[in-house]
Chain A
């Protein structure tokens, strides 16, 4: 059913919400669109915040998804600096933080995720930073520079990207990771070891298997990170990158199905047919893995924005996608396709020492996931093979002299 004249209210003006608004207009939606964001800025790209933007290679204009005038020109009522406090589903009303209420025909929840805070003493000191928003990135940029000491708590992708950018800006960087290896939750051991080596070559110091028990400071500003073994890592600023949690309280409070995120179907529709949820906040089905989960990535935000916009405007749903993501550190481009679910074998193609290799995660003779370092063919072909479920020859896949175009069994 198409509802081209319906009033669509989008809560959250990040990558998902901003894209949904633009897609709705592109797909011919004629009804009013309200886009409510809690930040002062119009929708912008977050990935560069830890990479090109932090290093000063990208400006605010280039971060913006669309120029500010785009929203008025396309009759999108963009309202910054506002949060939704309550959903009244029976009346199809949203209560906003300025005391006003907004009526909707269709609601899109694009409220994203927030950084997890460490529940330790000293966590409220100035100089303790996180990296989700442009404002966070501004604070971080001001805190790093030649001679400054930056502690990074958490050796995940955000932590490592910040470490690389911090080194590029001349800061001394110590990465503190609770696990014995980097990227422990998301990458295989070969990749963890490789990244550690690269960062060490660039002068990053690692404290592995180290638990943070608190922060110490002077005059309200952080001066060090306390570790469980009693040592203190001195710093001028610390970035905490230990994961994120979905902003799904609004949905849970009004009785929508949630499960570490708002539960949606293949159209991004929640358990209320008038409400969609997209992006970091959504717990969504992923047919190629026959399960549901929550993803924090731009490609996921874009895909679900398309799903919701298609359903609302009566277009066929987009063809199922293979999830993917990327990371840039120093001169390395990491491209990841798929997730390593239900795998029974890890296969290496190429030599990590060459700075160019790929790790394939297999289930039988099918590829479930690929992590490619400076190896676009492995990423591109791997992504296609994950999607079409074709069987591959392991002998060919591990043989660099065989082109990726010829690895199908």
Chain B
């Protein structure tokens, strides 16, 4: 279990407990956190679960795969700390994680 804070583009914070083994995307979708669409359900096929990972957590969330990199390369409003949240697995090490959401996923 990890406590994850999702911060919407307008500043609204959602703090939810996410089970180990789920992805950061699933943690948002299953708790009805707005702002993460995840159209493909986690197949790394759509880039609609884009988040910005807080600097302090960049190492712990790991590296992105080549597939993820090249999807992100063509998404909107990409920053150096952009990730696709369906590709970040939740573990106890991510307890306290903070991610920010872009204005739009499309």
Contacts and interface: CB of A to CB of B under 8 A. Distances in A.
Q: Which 3 residue pairs of A and B lie closest in terms of their CB atoms, listed nearest first?
A: A380-B74, A326-B45, A376-B70
B74 A333 contact: no
Contacts of B75: 380
B95 interface: no
Interface string A63-89: 011110010001000000000000000
Nearest to A44: B41
Nearest to B70: A376
A405 B34 CA distance: 30
Interface of B: 22, 26, 29-30, 32, 34, 37, 39-41, 43-47, 67, 70-71, 73-75, 106
Contacts of A376: 67, 70-71, 73-74
B39 A298 contact: yes
Contacts of A67: 30
Interface residues of A, number: 30
A22 B40 contact: no
Contacts of A25: 32
B76 to A, nearest CB: 9
A335 B45 contact: yes
14 contacts: A25-B32, A26-B34, A47-B43, A62-B26, A70-B30, A298-B41, A319-B106, A324-B46, A326-B40, A326-B43, A333-B67, A335-B45, A377-B70, A404-B74
A224 interface: no
A380 B43 contact: no
A21 B29 CA distance: 14
A207 interface: no
Contacts of B71: 376, 380
B29 to A, nearest CB: 8
Contacts of B37: 302
A299 B40 CA distance: 8
Contacts of B41: 45, 47-48, 298
Nearest to B71: A376
A392 interface: no
Given A45-B41, A333-B43, A335-B45, 7 more contacts: A22-B32, A47-B43, A62-B26, A298-B39, A376-B67, A377-B70, A405-B74
A249 interface: no
A288 interface: no
